[in-house]
Structure 1
């Protein structure tokens, strides 16, 4: 039976994700950006909570751990770095599997935004929760890791099946699209950017995305093809990526 994903906005630009294994009714929250909002959504849905699945240690991802665990008794799963700010019951990393009822999530190390960042991939349903590693038309800032580490992480995600639904943690897509248009004038990107701007005007989310769509239009996944645009023609792929990331960091559009 499939995995149900209930997505809702919280904080200024985060998304919360409550997920339910329909075969067993087991439920989880992916990260804990806003404890009050998550608990309210659970009450509205009539769901309990079995697991908290953290992607990384930042407060808008793990800051609600203690409050939600106290209210629900959920088991907290995540990378070891989460203990910098919040409790953790089970530490996981690359190669581990997290079970939510009959749904099995493979843990992928996707460091770069933070050193220990992880993602969760459900191979049966082709669903990935990627935190702040990959965004629709973007990627996370390199707060702790290197360009080479983040490029490796992005390639790991790009290798997932093309139809994988990618749930990233923030609604940054319109801003990402404006930057993307500054380094890529391809028709596929232009068409996607127009659709993104129209969706946001209507107040519609642009998450989830898909691996295929990101490979076709995301400038961070397309960095080698854009290397000449950022002064890195002929450079290793990760250096081209680093240049695109640096350009985004300084972008004012």
Structure 2
């Protein structure tokens, strides 16, 4: 049976959070990926004429969950959240862990535990339409800040994305594209494809757009944190080519923290 292509709307919340609505056109079921604040999510639903049935939470940080209570009160949506977050996320109906499957109408996603940014972080991988909702683990041209683990933990989480097809669409939790692009160019100034993406990001900014989603193919070619195995990235952090990619990643992340 052919699965209908999901309908997706993205929009800004707060100052730089990305709000996402995912709808199964066959059933009308609709999910919000996190609820950074209630107003923009409810406005996007009204504009689209969609009825929210689900909220899929990536992690417990306030800028991803602040609007959950109000949106659930207004819509009755079922809240799915990481089991490891415990009671820190409000109004949870379903707690999920590694390998669980969540459904939005006829769409299904595998739950990955992707710690590093925080201990409870999960990612939702919709294999059939090739969509991945990465929260604050993987960004366009960047990755999340390491907050509750050693950098190697986030590196292991990121390597999972590297196994996905090039045409996978990656939805991240923030629009940090310009700052990420500036760092990426500092780390790999001779990457012509990266220079082109920087120009694209600047155009998007002037036009009021953001480069979310991205594709895994674009990220493999331009995101320094996925390219830590490349000799050029090792040299950029004063390590010899052939250095373990996890060690290069750790050095890159430390540099980005100060950039």
Give the TM-score, by structure 1 length.
0.96
Of 89, 99, 103 in structure 2, the residue corresponding to residue 99 of structure 1 is: 103
Of 218, 232, 250 in structure 2, the residue corresponding to residue 242 of structure 1 is: 250
Query: What is the CA deviation profile of residues 25-46 of structure 1, one whole-angstrom value per residue up to 9, with x for unaligned ones?
Result: 1011000001122112212222
2:37–2:68 Cα contact (<8 Å) kept: no
Q: What is the DSSP-based 3-state SS (H/G/I as helix, E as strand, rest coil) of the residue aligned with 1:12?
A: coil
Of 58, 63, 88 in structure 2, the residue corresponding to residue 60 of structure 1 is: 63
1:183 corresponding residue in structure 2: 187
2:152 corresponding residue in structure 1: 148
- In 2: Cα distance, 1:194 partner to 1:14 partner: 22
1:57–1:82 Cα contact (<8 Å) kept: no
1:83 corresponding residue in structure 2: 87
1:1-253 mapped onto 2 (5 Å cutoff): 1-80=4-83, 81=85, 83-185=87-189, 186-225=191-230, 226-233=233-240, 234-251=242-259
- In 2: Cα distance, 1:82 partner to 1:248 partner: 31
- In 2: Cα distance, 1:164 partner to 1:134 partner: 13
Structure 1 window deviating more from structure 2 (82-91 vs 200-209): it is 82-91
- In 1: Cα distance, 2:227 partner to 2:21 partner: 31
TM-aligned CA deviation for residue 85 of structure 1: 4.1
TM-aligned CA deviation for residue 82 of structure 1: 5.8
1:55–1:78 Cα contact (<8 Å) kept: yes
- Structure 2 unpaired stretches of 5+: none
TM-aligned CA deviation for residue 235 of structure 1: 3.3
Q: RMSD of aligned C-alpha atoms?
A: 1.2
- In 2: Cα distance, 1:244 partner to 1:95 partner: 30
- Structure 1 unpaired stretches of 5+: none
- In 2: Cα distance, 1:65 partner to 1:24 partner: 23
- In 2: Cα distance, 1:236 partner to 1:93 partner: 29
1:50–1:73 Cα contact (<8 Å) kept: yes
1:56–1:82 Cα contact (<8 Å) kept: no
* Superposed structure 1 runs of 4+ greater than 3 Å apart: none
- Give aligned pairs, total: 251
Give the TM-score, by structure 2 length.
0.93
- In 2: Cα distance, 1:63 partner to 1:83 partner: 14
Q: What is the DSSP-based 3-state SS (H/G/I as helix, E as strand, rest coil) of the residue aligned with 2:229?
A: helix
- In 1: Cα distance, 2:157 partner to 2:54 partner: 25
- In 2: Cα distance, 1:39 partner to 1:203 partner: 21
Query: What is the CA deviation profile of residues 8-37 of structure 1, one whole-angstrom value per residue up to 9, with x for unaligned ones?
Result: 111101111111111101011000001122
- In 2: Cα distance, 1:82 partner to 1:14 partner: 23
Structure 1 window deviating more from structure 2 (32-41 vs 170-179): it is 32-41
